[in-house]
Amino acid sequence: MIRDFHLADWFTLANAFCGTGAIFAAMRFLQDGRVGDLLWGMALVPLAFVFDALDGWVARQRHGASLLGRELDSLSDVISFGVAPAALAYACGMQGGWDWLVLSYFVGCGVSRLARFNVTAEALSEGAAKVRFFEGTPIPTSVVLVGLMAVAAWQGEIGDNLWFGRLDLGWQLHPLVLLFAVSGSLMISKTVRIPKP
């Protein structure tokens, strides 16, 4: 299988590698409590974004786009921009029952958004070489959420000190997690259309 990979596919796998590293860093933080581990994990998500941008650019330059590449891209994006941000949020202290539901909703929205893109990409391109707009916000926009969490971690505002505190609604809810609900909802929106560069 590896012999069939295009150069762009290796950049896509680097994206997945970064996302997986971010998840492991979140787990290491929960194990050892070193904020440096958490910050390293958060830094890997923007790096995954760089690899995500490069894989598309390389594919276009080398005319090496493939169905395998498109599937690899979506699966890597789920890891780096769906599961990894949710894991980092959990590590930051969004660990209540309502938080779990919201973070799971966020990941589910990301998976659904990518699946919809893969199914509708040809129709959305309207005969052009590539898709002209995104239907719903792209999943890599979760980099913004990771950036906010990185600021909170840098300031020591995680765990019991998480911004906006927590509410006890039978299960705990950290209001900050609602940004993940908004992000997920925007990803699956059919009315939000963003021109693709």
pLDDT in tens, 97-138: 999 999 999 999 999 999 988 887 666 555 555 666 778 899
20 pLDDT higher than 60: yes
15 pLDDT higher than 80: yes
Predicted local distance difference test score (pLDDT) of residue 61: 67
Contacts of 3 (CB under 8 A, 6+ apart): none
Can you tell me the mean pLDDT for 7-12? 76
Domain boundaries, the chain: 2-195
User: What are 171's strand-pairing partners?
Assistant: 169
Q: What is the pLDDT of residues 72-104, one digit of tens each?
A: 888 999 999 999 999 999 999 999 999 999 999
- Average model confidence (pLDDT) for the chain? 88
pTM for this predicted structure: 0.88
1 pLDDT higher than 70: no
- Residue 81 DSSP one-character state: I
Integer Cα distance of 20 and 31 in angstroms: 17
CB atoms within 10 A of CB 62: 11
Burial class (CB in 10 A: 0-12, 13-18, 19+), 77: buried
CATH topology of domain 2-195: Four Helix Bundle (Hemerythrin (Met), subunit A) (1.20.120)
Predicted local distance difference test score (pLDDT) of residue 73: 86
152, 175 Cβ separation under 8 angstroms = no
151 pLDDT higher than 60: yes
Banded pLDDT at 71 (limits 50, 70, 90): confident
Predicted local distance difference test score (pLDDT) of residue 195: 74
Integer Cα distance of 126 and 102 in angstroms: 35
Q: Which of 16, 135, 11 is nearest to 79 (CA)?
A: 16
Buried b (16+ CB within 10 A) or exposed e, 105-138: bbbebbbebbebbeeeeeebeeeeeebeebbbbb
50 pLDDT higher than 80: yes
